[in-house]
Amino acid sequence: MEINELNQRYALHLAELELAQYMGELYSAEEGEGEKIRNYFMSTPNRRAFGMKCCICTFKDMDCPPSKIAQQIGVSMNAVDTMISECESFGWIEVTRQDNNYRLVRAAKVLVDQWVKYATVVADYSVDKDFGGIQSARKYYKVAG
């Protein structure tokens, strides 16, 4: 199989994955808190990026300053402040406030748990579509190329 065919096969499965995710077919959170989290973070690209960044902060055991989050995800500080306020009120993120009112943010356990459930579904989908096999073939084709 040629590299272009491998790239097209990967692109096909990636498009199917992203469409299933967009349509809500890939992952359905359980009713209640999981569904609220999914609906909130899937409602806009900014919220999705903010949620992922908060999870990354937790996975790396870091507290992230809002200004850094705003810069990294390309949104205004006002947008980040709004998301912090909303998510903190729901208990989805933890906010540490220092003496000078400097804030540090990370995902709470409930948000991390939902992200891990979603990631597991994506991993299973990737196995079913043989993303790993396609990637291995692409790698060896490039090395031998």
Split at pLDDT 50, 70, 90, the class of 13 is very high
What value does the mean pLDDT of the chain take?
93
Q: What residue segments make up the domains of the chain, in order of their start?
A: 3-144
DSSP 100: T
Length of the chain: 145
Q: What's the mean pLDDT in 131-142?
A: 89
CATH 3.40.50.720 fits 3-144, yes or no: no
pLDDT at 30 over 90: no
How far apart are the C-alpha atoms of 94 and 104, rounded to whole Å? 8
pLDDT score at 83: 99
pLDDT score at 101: 84
Q: What is the pTM of this model?
A: 0.86
Q: Which of 35-39, 47-51, 68-72 has the lowest mean pLDDT?
A: 35-39
CB 121 within 8 A of CB 26: yes
How far apart are the C-alpha atoms of 55 and 74, rounded to whole Å? 17
Which residues pair with residue 94 across a beta bridge? 106
CB 74 within 8 A of CB 81: no
How far apart are the C-alpha atoms of 71 and 122, rounded to whole Å? 27
